[in-house]
Amino acid sequence: MDATGNTAMTTPRLGRYTIDADNSSISFKSRHVFGLLPVRGSFSVHGGTIEVAEPLSASRVLAEVDAASFRTGHAQRDTAVRSVKFLDTDRYPLITFASDRVDATRTTVSGTLTVCGAFRPARLSIARCEVLADAFTVHATTQVDRTEFGVTAARGMAGRHLDLTLEIRCVRT
């Protein structure tokens, strides 16, 4: 038992969880200017749900990301990426991930990523999961090829791939 009275477990309890958007984050890194300069930034998690089921492979994830929350600390770039040339956040305000399956070893979650109305398969690699009695936090990574979603502006100048790191806090409902 920890200092807050929660007991650490290896797998979350069965049931429905809500993503705690205020305590979740998505960061990314990419390359800019012909791949020479690193770019780091973040997105805000909008919300979502997780259904932990038995068997674990039957569990489901639905996560939503606020596309307009794209931030790199460079106002002009951030505005351009939110524009119709890239993410078109007025037309497509959410980026979503819906799982198809959780593998039995609990190391990957496969599903469908939707960006700018385009649906593509995606696979999250689970680095670790910290489980408490009524909550858990998942640390995962994935790589996204923006051109697969029709986000093709600034070829050569803007990086094609984004390496995403997710820290998602889930609270039992």
Domains parsed from the chain with CATH numbers:
15-172 (2.40.128.110)
Q: What pTM did the predictor assign?
A: 0.89
> Between the CA atoms of 52, 136, 22 and 74, what dihedral angle is there, to the nearest 10 degrees?
-100
Q: Is the dihedral of CA 121, 127, 130, 131 positive or negative?
A: positive
**Tens-binned pLDDT, residue by residue, of the chain (173 aa):** 344 444 344 789 999 999 999 999 999 999 876 657 899 999 999 999 999 999 999 999 999 999 999 999 999 999 999 999 999 999 999 999 999 999 978 899 999 999 999 999 999 999 999 999 999 999 999 999 999 999 888 776 788 899 999 999 999 99
Rounded Cα–Cα distance for residues 105 and 93 (Å): 34
DSSP element (H, E) containing 98: strand 94-102
